[in-house]
Structures are given as structure tokens and as C-alpha cells.
Amino acid sequence: MSRRAIRFLNQKGIHFKLVEYIHDVKGASFAAKSTGFPMERAIKTLVVDLGRKGNVIVLMPGDKSINLKGLAEALSVKRSAIVALFRERRTNKND
């Protein structure tokens, strides 16, 4: 969790428990197994590229899959694609 997110939760007085794990493998399934937290209760964060319309952040249950075609339709764009990991890291330097 980013320092910015922790600061926000603290400022709003929102109770939370920070669960950390070694991120050896990408994916909600690995995260759930590593933390002992049920996948259906976890929230996964996806960065989706909408082409010329920019990027959006999608928050969804850890046990669900995204329908990129449906997302593109709902947002009135031609296509949508998951942003590559290296691109996400490059854009998140200022956490």
C-alpha cells in the first residue's frame, strides 16, 4: 500500500490492517495464499489503457476476471488493455 493511501486512511479515521507479503509472483491468487486472506474478499487493482482516452484504475473482487471488451463498450472506447507491469511501475514513482 502506498504511503499516500495510508496517510489518507489515517486522516479520515478509517480503521485498517496493513498486511504485507513478499510479492514473488504476480496475481490475486498468490496474494491470497501468501496472506491467508480469502480471494473473494480481496480487492485487486488493475490499470487499464483506454488508448487516446488515457488510463483508468479498476478495483474489483480478487476472484473475478475483467471483461476488457465490456469495459471498452461501457466507456465508449474502441479497445482497452491491461497496462504492462513495467509501465505501471514507471508511472508510480511518486507514491
- CATH number at 7 reads 3.90.960.10
Q: Can you give the pLDDT of all 95 residues of the chain as single tens digits?
A: 568 888 999 999 999 988 887 777 777 888 888 888 898 988 888 999 999 999 999 999 989 999 999 999 999 999 999 997 655 455 555 54
Give the range of the structural domain holding residue 37, as residue numbers without chain letter.
3-91
Domain count, the chain: 1
Phi-psi region of 5 (alpha: psi -120 to 50; beta: other; left: phi over 0): alpha
Residue whose cell numbers read 482516452: 53
Asked if 56 and 88 touch (Cβ cutoff 8 Å), the reply is no
Cβ–Cβ under 8 Å, residues 51 and 78: yes
Cβ partners under 8 Å of residue 88, min gap 6: 47
pTM here is: 0.64
